[in-house]
Amino acid sequence: MRYISTRGQAPALTFEEAMLTGLARDGGLYVPETIPQMSPGDISALAGLSYEEVAYRVMRPFVGTSFGDTEFQDIIARAYSGFTHDARAPLVQLGPNHFLLELFHGPTLAFKDFAMQLIGQLFQAALARRGERVTIVGATSGDTGSAAIEAFRGLDNVDVFILFPHGRVSEVQRRQMTTPVESNVHALAMDGDFDDCQAKLKDMFNDFTFRDEVRLAGVNSINWARVLAQVVYYFTAAVSLGAPARPVSFTIPTGNFGDIFAGYIARRMGLPIEKLVIATNQNDILHRTMLTGEYRTSGVTPSISPSMDIQVSSNFERVLFDAYDRDGKAVSQLMDELKSGGFKISQGAMGFLNEQFYSGRVSEEQTSATIRAFHAQTGEILCPHSAVGVTVAQDHLGTTPMITLATAHPAKFPDAVEAATSIRPALPEAMADLFERPERVSRVANDLGALEEFIRKRTKT
Ligand SMILES: *Cc1c(COP(=O)(O)O)cnc(C)c1O
């Protein structure tokens, strides 16, 4: 199994190389050269298996020879052992033909744990075998950073630096990043918004001297291994509702297009998914793109679902690559145009995107109203991101079961939830003392040279 860049100019890599590299050297993202297929028989055979066993069967073909069979099984077992629900990703029913896939039972209470816990174990195994050390730098709108710090804290062969927009993450998110005591993890509060953090990260990857000097590695949702880990729960959810005999639909609260891209891969592998619905908050570049055929950025407006406050949706490049028949030159050109504000998608490519995705946008008021209504009707307390998904999903209910992804635990966003329901959701037991733990954070400027110097001084390479 080989991985190729969406911009067509970087060398093809193995799974392990693509994982350790993150962003391709031509600025593109790695995607598998071919998509492994699961037959209806293969999918039926997943019924009744544990989450870990399904994970193994779904991901194994993508990993190729990078990890041995038993090694990979052990890695999966370790990755999910810290989850507090035995099903890992349980389904609850919200109403007729509407289900919620709870992805927040991992150690930092957001779906990011599914990918990050796995990637931590994969990095550890690969680096130990190679006798190498890497510097992981990540940008976060909140949940990626806490999940990364949790997954990599105390591991031998990595230093981790997480850039988050100062003052723009929730207090629980910040504390999850600033309270771990291990000296190999660093939380950096940067001046600016998430897109500024993401832009600085990209600049570091494009500074090849720095990149090679600190052996830079990335674990943002551009990392293929993360997308792959997220494909698994589309299978477990669909199979538990009767797939492959019965198709299902999914609605996904979306920011960087990572989680929904995993659903698209599940469909390409053969999982019968009828609708894949993009749900955005007021930062709605993806919804506007689906409506107008133009991908054009505007400023970020902070919302009560901050993990989706994004205007440049990195993983969208991966689906564009397919929409343009895997023409790396065409994608490169679009990404050049993006530097000056946006691009128009060709009619053929838009036809492809309209076949694959539906979309909807949710206002702040609607998000709160949904949290309030579903709490009253079902007792389920939704986090604001999940509420964005549930709101959009309601426009797509029908005879096919709809599964909305619940991407975070409500206690991660207690202010928004309390404003909507008058209930302040409590943190789970393991995190109950989060507000008493001392914080460790460095305030940094939105300045490439200063950031690189900061990181250089603190790496153990
Ligand atoms: C990251 C995140 C999202 C957006 O996911 P993408 O994969 O970036 O589209 C939605 N909700 C929560 C809670 C998140 O942490």
pLDDT tens digits for 289-315?
999 999 999 888 989 998 898 888 889
Q: Which CATH number characterizes residue 353's domain?
A: 3.40.50.1100
Substitution candidate for ligand 1 out of 314, 385, 391 with most atoms within 8 A of CB: 385
pLDDT of residue 70: 98
295: which residues sit within 8 A by CB, 6+ positions away? 285, 289, 316, 334, 338, 342, 343, 344, 345
**pLDDT mean across residues, the chain:** 95
Q: 348 lies in a domain?
A: yes
pLDDT at residue 121 greater than cutoff 60? yes
Q: 234 lies in a domain?
A: yes
pLDDT at residue 461 greater than cutoff 60? no
CB atoms within 10 A of CB 28: 23
Q: 30 lies in a domain?
A: no
Ligand 1, residue 262: give the atom nearest the CA. 7
Q: 298 lies in a domain?
A: yes
- Judged by average pLDDT, the poorest of 209-223, 371-385, 405-419 is 209-223
Distance (Å, whole) CA 195 – CA 39: 40
Partner residues linked to 188 by β-bridges: 163, 442
Substitution candidate for ligand 1 out of 173, 259, 283 with most atoms within 8 A of CB: 259
Q: 252 lies in a domain?
A: yes
pLDDT at residue 447 greater than cutoff 70? yes
Q: What is the CA(255)–ligand 1 centre distance, in A? A: 6
pLDDT at residue 354 greater than cutoff 60? yes
Distance (Å, whole) CA 216 – CA 361: 36
Range of the domain at 354: 91-106+225-421
- Helix boundaries (H) for 22-68: 40-44, 51-63
Distance (Å, whole) CA 232 – CA 268: 13
Q: What is the CA(308)–ligand 1 centre distance, in A? A: 6
Distance (Å, whole) CA 100 – CA 253: 12
The residue contributing the CA closest to ligand 1 atom 1 is 307
Domain count for the chain, please give it: 1
Distance (Å, whole) CA 220 – CA 199: 12
Distance (Å, whole) CA 421 – CA 368: 8
Angle at 50 between CA 222 and CA 381, to 5 degrees: 70
pLDDT of residue 217: 92
Q: 392 lies in a domain?
A: yes
Ligand 1, residue 256: give the atom nearest the CA. 8
pLDDT of residue 195: 85
The residue contributing the CA closest to ligand 1 atom 15 is 143
pTM exceeding the 0.85 threshold for the entire prediction:
yes
Instruction: Judge contact between 35 and 1, C-beta under 8 A.
Output: no
Identity at 5, one-letter amino acid code:
S
Identity at 39, one-letter amino acid code:
S
> How many CA atoms are closer than 13 Å to the CA of 63, on its beta-carbon side?
24
From residue 185, give the alpha-carbon distance in Å to each of 99, 231, 375: 37, 28, 37
Distance (Å, whole) CA 45 – CA 48: 8
Q: Assign residue 88 a region (left: φ > 0; alpha: ψ between -120 and 50; beta: otherwise).
A: left
Q: What is the mean pLDDT of residues 153-169?
A: 94
pLDDT of residue 335: 96
Substitution candidate for ligand 1 out of 100, 101, 111, 278 with most atoms within 8 A of CB: 111
- Helix boundaries (H) for 285-402: 285-292, 316-323, 328-338, 347-356, 364-378, 384-393
Total residue count of the chain as it appears in this document: 461
pLDDT of residue 265: 98
Check residue 339 and report its DSSP letter: T
Q: Is 112 noted as a catalytic residue in this protein?
A: yes
Q: 275 lies in a domain?
A: yes
Q: 98 lies in a domain?
A: yes
- Active-site annotation holder among 112, 200, 202, 412: 112
Query: What's the N-to-C CA distance of the chain in angstroms?
Result: 31
Partner residues linked to 162 by β-bridges: 138, 187
pLDDT of residue 268: 98
Selection from 259, 331, 314 nearest residue 104 by Cα = 259
13: which residues sit within 8 A by CB, 6+ positions away? 2, 3, 21, 30
Instruction: Judge contact between 278 and 286, C-beta under 8 A.
Output: yes
